[in-house]
Chain A
């Protein structure tokens, strides 16, 4: 076990997989950086958040490809490279740029296999930073995973800690389907214990991070840490919770959530996405359909308001669900049954 940041864990996964498989390539804006500069320095950036740092020195410019600012074409090129037998890992910098490249994601990569009658594979990974909390304002702070989860044909990964980030990125690269890999930008510097050696964390298996008997709490990405704070505080008062981190929203480990609800009868879902058609709404619908008889009271979502992400510090703090709001939601849930 070593303690490292999520940034370092992701970087370790890229090194691990590129060494393991010569068909893995990395492409995107500034994945190395410095190309065409006047200093002659390569790896001047190593990715805008430093996740791809150092790769070019070991794997060369043919496998670590700096591209122009052309998001459609970056994703499109990942699509074509994948169809042609490579395992591209493309970086989109910000998840918000899914908007720029949506055709290549939504109409192309997600549908190739199905529409070509199962006779194609698109093992591409699109990495992107997501989420609010860094005052990056409306066009650089969205979570986007709800929209991507709604697209059949894509797999969607939302790690909440360094160990999972490394294991899930390894799985994403080895997976034969297109994977959207969303890294919360406020978590890059979060430290955690990471197992040594090669490992891959399977998709569709939730993590049970706290165990309790009164309330099931489902939280994603940065919200997992916030939920832990709220849950640990309430434990002192004798209110105990199951905390479930789905880790992948597509496929989604419905069983773990439903089984926990059978035991607790109460459900709080914490999702940093605007509420309409969010993961909170999706999970609530699944539980209302398949776990209705276990519920003792209404399902309680904890989400931001249905607005774009505001810029000002005060506004953004109020916008992002806080540990205090999660605590209040758990107390609300306790009023039922």
Chain B
């Protein structure tokens, strides 16, 4: 696939933005200011970005408990996300959702979701709406290797095929369902084959390589856009941090993450490819790095000093009208 300079710069910036967002949260999480569960996406950036680069605001995605990457890739405002994670009044969800429920319907982001396997049926419903609107829009669900064994996912795969819905299933295998290896939880050796068995095409990708994911996702999304029914993308990557912040990760080899960071990192890989092909100036990418760091610093300062939601808001928004 031919990518323009703008495409390349935007792809790099999105990945860098997710990475620095998560790296910063990992440090800040120690201070105790962030309440509750935080699950970081660092290491898997190529998947979220490679998929969402093929989408517009008219398309829907639904995410998982590890949702920051998908939210940023779909265009959610980073500062409002940060405010939400800190539980502030002006957060994306007015401080009522937190890290695990970031959503922005105006961007077609139907929410991070705390229930493993809760997303695909919902994304299928959005796909029914896309189909009825006849505007070529699609609906995408991200799930991990853990959710790939949930009955809800099997139901959604089958129903999407039955209804010929424009729905794209992204399977992100990061190697671990919480604290258990994916190879243990998935009973078959051939996950792609299992998904194909439901009657939809599966496009496999290297989840460390944004170009590979982009190509696979484009094929899958085009298939759905053209009214040929649902499709799936299967991508493998790793997460750099624990299942949640504070997870001692006793299930992982000591040097595993270090090795991945050195040998497979999606950002290093991107720069290497760009360098070899003499596509962009290194200074341009360095400029993006510092711009992103400044943006996150601003968001962090804003989040730390922003006011909490007013107490009265605890009663708001249970209903549209009651």
List the interface of chain A (C-beta within 8 A of B): 23, 25, 27, 62-63, 65, 67-68, 70, 72-73, 75-86, 88, 103-104, 107-108, 112-121, 152-153, 155, 175-177, 204, 251
Contacts and interface: CB of A to CB of B under 8 A. Distances in A.
Contacts of A118: 94, 316-317
B159 interface: yes
B124 A76 contact: yes
Given A79-B125, A83-B105, A119-B104, A113 B318 contact: yes
Interface stretch (B110-118, B174-182, B208-216): B110-118
A119 B129 contact: no
B123 A80 contact: yes
A140 B248 CA distance: 47
Listed from nearest, the 10 A-B pairs whose CB atoms lie closest are: A76-B121, A80-B125, A117-B94, A118-B317, A84-B129, A117-B93, A77-B125, A70-B155, A73-B155, A80-B122
Given A68-B162, A83-B122, A112-B111, A76 B319 contact: no
A81 B128 CA distance: 6
A79 B121 contact: yes
A107 B115 contact: yes
B54 interface: no
A114 to B, nearest CB: 5
Interface string B78-103: 00000000000001111111000101
A13 B44 CA distance: 49
Contacts of A27: 128
A86 B132 contact: yes
B131 interface: yes
A117 B91 contact: yes
B95 A117 contact: yes
Contact of B62 (A80, A85, A114): A80
B105 A120 contact: yes
B158 A70 contact: yes
A80 B105 contact: no
Interface in B156-188: 156, 158-159, 162-163
Interface in B209-259: none
Q: Which of B111, B123, B128, B130 is most buried by chain A, counting CB atoms within 10 A of its CB?
A: B128
Given A70-B159, A116-B103, A118-B316, A177 B123 contact: no
B254 to A, nearest CB: 37
Contact of A116 (B62, B111, B321): B111
A136 B193 CA distance: 41
Given A70-B155, A107-B114, A113 B128 contact: no
A68 B93 contact: no
A141 to B, nearest CB: 25
A153 B320 CA distance: 9
A77 B155 CA distance: 11
Contacts of A73: 120-121, 124, 152, 155-156, 159
B115 A77 contact: no
Contacts of A82: 125
Contact of B93 (A72, A116, A176): A116
Nearest to A103: B115
B36 interface: no
9 contacts: A65-B128, A68-B162, A76-B120, A77-B128, A108-B113, A113-B317, A114-B318, A119-B93, A155-B319
B41 interface: no
A119 B320 contact: no
Contacts of B129: 80-81, 84-86
Contacts of B162: 67-68
A181 B60 CA distance: 28
A85 B128 CA distance: 11
B105 A86 contact: no
Contact of B125 (A81, A107, A113, A155): A81
A27 B225 CA distance: 23
Given A75-B121, A86-B132, A114-B318, 16 more contacts: A70-B159, A72-B151, A73-B120, A77-B121, A77-B122, A80-B124, A81-B125, A84-B126, A108-B113, A108-B122, A116-B96, A116-B97, A117-B97, A177-B319, A177-B320, A177-B321
A118 B322 CA distance: 14
A83 B103 CA distance: 11
Contacts of A75: 121
B127 interface: yes
A293 B103 CA distance: 47
Contact of B156 (A76, A86, A88): A76
Given A81-B126, A176-B321, A251-B322, A65 B163 contact: yes
B148 interface: no
Contact of A121 (B101, B121, B320): B320
B139 interface: yes
Given A70-B159, A72-B155, A81-B125, A63 B132 contact: yes
Interface string B18-32: 000000000000000
Contacts of A104: 118, 121-122
A34 to B, nearest CB: 14
Contacts of A117: 91-97, 317
Contact of B97 (A103, A115, A177): A115
B121 A114 contact: no
A114 B110 contact: no
B319 A153 contact: yes
B158 to A, nearest CB: 6
Nearest to B131: A62
Contacts of B101: 115-116
Contacts of A85: 129
Given A79-B125, A80-B62, A84-B129, A115 B158 contact: no
Contacts of B114: 107
Contact of B127 (A79, A80, A115): A80
